[in-house]
Amino acid sequence: MSDDPLLRCSDVVVTFQQKQTRTTLTAVKSASLEVGRGQIVGLVGESGSGKSTLARAVVGLQRIDSGSIVFDGKPFAARRRRADRRGVQMVFQDPYGSLDPRMTISGTLTEMIRRHTALRGSAVDKRCHELMDMVRLPSSLLTSRPAGMSGGQRQRVAIARALSISPKLLVADEPVAALDVSVQAGIVNLLADLREEVGLSILFISHDLSIVRTLCDRVNVIYRGEIVEEQPCAELFAAPRDEYTKTLLAAIPRIGGPRAGR
């Protein structure tokens, strides 16, 4: 089993019925990707490429039309059991929308811990403190609500919440896109550290190739619902094979790079 990847999506198809035009939109067509144990795998594409739809399918927020998603050696059924959901957790792009403004941070974490683990009483509190340490937040924030917190702090809370039930795979959908560069760097480093510290595997969805290069081991490029290229990070950037990947790489602005239009 150890040779098996942690996550293997094979020929996943997701379609949406357009009510008004009565047509079928294929958001993901026959996409296959793998995330190995302890790996950080990037999924890169532009808006409308299907990257978020595929991510939602992996987490179980999106029904798939055909294909299979095998996690930890077992295929996910159409309807996931609670134990299935424990293995995969997600962090969303917008840390302002993904946290309940009425709940304190400890409330947010406690809810998850009590629902999915056997911990009760003071063990829950202890776990909350551990989680805050893990995401480098002071425990004093446990009693505050998201309203007074910065975007970076909120995203750390969202990561702590995802980690609260020790998932094997974290699906991070553009987790730093809404953050400032200086804050973004902290979250990117945190994800890299978590892989080392708790052996977390991460599917990292992004449109920003610079961050993917900094963080990921392997990269999948998705274009119009299809994975057009998959390579180890270094190779993809050094020798892209697909035409679309080449276009994408050429379009990245670089500090000190050539001037636009000249």
Partner 1 sequence: MTDRAPLLDVADLSVKLQVGGTELHALEHVSFSLGYGEARGLVGESGSGKSLTLRALLGLLPPNATVTSGRMTFDGAEFDLAGTSRSKRRRLERLRGTGISMIFQEPSVALNPVIPVGEQIVDAVMRRDRMRRAEARDYAIHLMKLVGIHDAENKVDAYEFELSGGLKQRVMIAAAVASKPKLILCDEPTTALDVTVQQQILDVFTDLRDELDAGLLYVTHDLAVVSQLCDSVTVLYSGNVMESSADLRDMFDAPRHPYTEALLRSTPDVDRIGRRLYSIPGSAPSLDDRPRGCPFAPRCEYRHDDCEEARVPDKSTSSGREVHCLHQVQQGVSRVALTKEAR
Residues that bind partner 1 (CB under 8 A): 46-47, 150, 152, 180-186, 188-189, 192, 207-211, 213-214, 233-234, 237, 247-262
Three-state DSSP string of the chain? CCCCCCEEEEEEEEEEEECCCCEEEEEEEEEEEEECCCCEEEEECCCCCCHHHHHHHHHCCCCCCEEEEEECCEECCCCCCHHHHHHEEEECCCCCCCCCCCCCHHHHHHHHHHHHCCCCCHHHHHHHHHHHHHCCCCHHHHHCCHHHCCHHHHHHHHHHHHHCCCCCEEEEECCCCCCCHHHHHHHHHHHHHHHHHHCCEEEEEECCHHHHHHHCCEEEEEECCEEEEEEEHHHHHHCCCCHHHHHHHHCCCCCCCCCCCC
Give the residue with the Cβ less far from partner 1, 163 or 188.
Answer: 188
Write the single-letter amino acid at 70: V
Q: How far is the CB of 260 from partner 1 (least distance, A)?
A: 4
Give the residue with the Cβ less far from partner 1, 1 or 181.
Answer: 181
Q: How far is the CB of 187 from partner 1 (least distance, A)?
A: 8
Give the residue with the Cβ less far from partner 1, 115 or 246.
Answer: 246
Give the residue with the Cβ less far from partner 1, 124 or 185.
Answer: 185
Write the single-letter amino acid at 232: P
Q: How far is the CB of 164 from partner 1 (least distance, A)?
A: 23
Give the residue with the Cβ less far from partner 1, 167 or 175.
Answer: 175
Q: How far is the CB of 96 from partner 1 (least distance, A)?
A: 12
Give the residue with the Cβ less far from partner 1, 88 or 212.
Answer: 212
Q: How far is the CB of 10 from partner 1 (least distance, A)?
A: 28
Q: How far is the CB of 235 from partner 1 (least distance, A)?
A: 10
